[in-house]
Chain A
């Protein structure tokens, strides 16, 4: 399968120019692709692995949902409870992502630019929300923001709990994408700006931020995608009340539990479409900013 896939890819990379179809194609000076034997194998493995794990299962979901025709999508989205779940999920994910852009950049900045006791420990702990099983994340959050909250914030079973859970599990993404870029920034670029008269704020806004922008966008994409797929922590934290705190992934589970696989597949492909749309939009924004310079 690997060779078949890589073979197929090699064929499609070459432009189908009439000249190339002639017998003398071996004499052509510019190669159709840059794949050497080893690289061809690498691409083959990539495609095989990616297909087995991602492309084929995803296609299966979309195919299953599409088997019911447009009606199944329309039916699913016309269901008010489902629609409320989708809106809550997307809105909360968007809010949390915006929040992460600000806090993630600040945390990355502190970790790279400042020296303080405990920095190394903080640097390790940043990844904890990512490493914990999300059901444990739910427990942890419930301890501080649940009915017995020591700080008097009982957010359990409220829409706020969804924001809280999303924020918790997506915290590391922007920190970890921005941090290495910030570390690589040349000090002399900032010094050049300073000697040209730029204040610290101007240097940040006009020199540092544009350099960080691609990393921030990449982190935001990951953060958003991770948020809309969050499930485990919400089971405990949000109570999954219909129209109030039920998110799309929980809604999918209840579809499956009720045996309506077609609805579950339809909602899953809607989520997939949302995720793809956000990835594409953020990528376009990033390209546009990069081009504007």
Chain B
């Protein structure tokens, strides 16, 4: 294991940011720390980097106890949400910074900077100043700068959080491809479950300072440990006291044994998809299906329908779960 986090607790005054967190992050993989804002994931990342210190617990990086090491000695690369560029230095100088303070020979620095700028597709911008770059370009520069010192682990704190949706998606794909090339152990923090599911090899779900579940994207999606993980990783609705994904609900126009009876109150078309709101005795249920499917079914507003969870659908007992619609 590349990073071992044991019993880490961190308080800010009365607020418990991390509560006895134990995580092991595997070498050479891309791991996402996923969770809602304020859940403690960024704090955990900063503790790994040595930018914050844990109240209790220990951090080991590649087998070395790093708990009391300053950030300078941890050999981690850190990428910030707001880029943290050195404004008064050119792009090449920014990337060279870590190498220059390590007093590497000049030709080696030049060569390495060229190599890295090529890797992040910024070769033609080497002599620009950071304020002449777009947000996405600045973040790629920050990434090259962090990679320059050949860190043991690369830590990214909401790296695409400040970018617009299109650039974010491009960079996300690009990060995945970059990781397949460079293979450095990478941990990134995100609150976007789609980003985590798409990019990460492994996801650590953190909420209210605690680890809710650790697993591959498939495991998390198919076998959520609890209602929080299930509802955070995609849209859910409550059917007969259990939470289930809206597209995992079957709709029939005739009574089916064990099905829940209800009335369609709303039909909302979103592109190829249709969302039905069905009023049942246990409250409103959201059902998602394709338009074709709905047309074949022939249901409309006011129709009486019977709902049941599809065969093989993942359901979790939803005791106190509000209906959450997480943007996907």
Q: Which residues of A contact B (CB under 8 A)?
A: 186, 188-189, 191-199, 202, 206-207, 210-211, 290, 293
Contact = CB atoms under 8 A, between A and B. Distances in A.
B142 interface: yes
A196 B146 contact: yes
B101 A192 contact: no
Contacts of A199: 72
12 contacts: A194-B70, A195-B51, A195-B71, A196-B101, A196-B146, A197-B75, A197-B98, A198-B72, A198-B101, A202-B101, A207-B86, A293-B129
B129 to A, nearest CB: 7
A192 B78 contact: yes
A197 B142 contact: no
9 smallest beta-carbon distances between A and B, as pairs: A196-B98, A192-B84, A188-B84, A195-B78, A210-B88, A194-B71, A188-B80, A195-B71, A189-B84
Interface stretch (B89-97, B180-188, B245-253, B275-283): B89-97
B217 interface: no
Contacts of A210: 88
B267 interface: no
Contacts of B97: 193, 196, 198, 206
Main secondary structure of the interface of B (DSSP, over half): loop
B49 A195 contact: yes
A192 B49 CA distance: 10
A202 to B, nearest CB: 6
Contact of A293 (B72, B78, B90): B90
A188 B71 CA distance: 13
A293 B85 contact: no
Interface of B: 49-51, 70-72, 74-78, 80, 82, 84-90, 93, 97-98, 101-102, 129, 142, 145-146, 148-149
A211 B88 contact: yes
Contacts of A206: 97, 101
A195 B80 CA distance: 11
Contact of B72 (A188, A194, A290): A194
Main secondary structure of the interface of A (DSSP, over half): helix
Most B-side CB within 10 Å, residue of A191, A192, A207: A192
A188 B50 CA distance: 13
Most A-side CB within 10 Å, residue of B74, B85, B86, B145: B86
Given A191-B51, A195-B76, A293 B93 contact: yes
A195 B101 contact: no
Given A193-B86, A195-B71, 20 more contacts: A186-B84, A188-B80, A189-B86, A189-B87, A191-B51, A191-B71, A192-B78, A193-B97, A194-B70, A194-B72, A195-B78, A196-B77, A196-B97, A196-B101, A196-B149, A197-B101, A199-B72, A206-B97, A211-B87, A293-B88
Contacts of B80: 188, 191-192
A132 B129 CA distance: 44
Nearest to B46: A191
A263 B78 CA distance: 65
Contact of A197 (B87, B89, B93, B102): B102
B149 A197 contact: yes
Contacts of A207: 86
Contacts of A189: 84-87
Contacts of B49: 195
Contacts of A194: 51, 70-72
Nearest to A196: B98
A274 to B, nearest CB: 30
A186 B71 CA distance: 17
Contacts of B90: 293
